[in-house]
Amino acid sequence: MISSLNYTVLTEALHALKEGDIRRCEALGFTYDELNAINQLSIDELFIVSRASAQFMDVTINHEVLRHLLAQSRQEIHLQQKINRAIGLGGSIELLSDFFGLTSGEISARRRLMGINIPQGRTQLPDEDTDAQIWLLWQKNHPENTVSLEALDVMMDITEKLASQDEAPSLTVVWNRILQCGKVMSAEGGQNGR
């Protein structure tokens, strides 16, 4: 791989030169004299320089940037897993848009890739027993902010706990019921405070 470093850097510099992106060449570390010489290389000369065993560039690792990129990639993978989990549990377009900022097109594409078909029409309301279970499970573990990813995790846990029921609610049903019950409780608390 190191033997192709000369070739990679030279072709990157030539490509940048052809596009007039001198700043990119400077960022690679080339001087103007070197860029003029590279720009005048014939194909044969380019081949000889790029295949030379002596490397004209040193590779160094920016450890801080690498650490940041590794952490960022782990966060991104975790987020993608959370999105896929929410889709798999029947998250609606509205829910997925609210929590992850996804468009309906992105959600539809992800569903197709995952082989998930969502029935059209209004979501069914759970029976009273399921509704009570949703609220009780929510009360045991819920965070203060109902629109946080932590709250979504709790809602997904609830959906998975209730998945063994005959009429198992989807994540969207759990989310809607929690929001609805929360509004009712807030309204009752406001009236009682008067």
* pLDDT per residue rounded down to tens, the chain (194 residues): 445 788 888 989 999 999 999 999 999 899 999 999 998 989 899 888 888 888 888 878 889 999 999 999 999 999 999 999 999 999 999 999 999 999 999 999 999 999 988 777 666 778 888 888 999 999 998 888 888 999 999 999 999 999 988 788 999 999 999 988 877 666 666 555 44
Return the pLDDT at 144. Answer: 83
120 occurs within a structural domain: no
Length of the chain (residues): 194
41 occurs within a structural domain: yes
Looking at the structure of the chain, the number of domains it has is: 3
Rounded (5°) CA angle 182-161-85: 85
Which residue range(s) make up the domain with 134? 128-192
Residues 67 and 47 in one domain: no
107 occurs within a structural domain: yes
Instruction: Note whether 13 and 35 are within 8 A (CB).
Output: yes
Residues 134 and 184 in one domain: yes
Residues 80 and 134 in one domain: no
Residues 110 and 139 in one domain: no
Return the pLDDT at 1. Answer: 43
DSSP 63-89: HHHHHHHHHHHHHHHHHHHHHHHHHHT
Residues 147 and 168 in one domain: yes
Return the pLDDT at 127. Answer: 82
Residues 47 and 67 in one domain: no
Residues 68 and 47 in one domain: no
121 occurs within a structural domain: no
Give Cβ neighbours of residue 48 (< 8 Å, ≥ 6 apart).
none
User: Hunting for tokens 């030539």 — which residue is that?
Assistant: 14
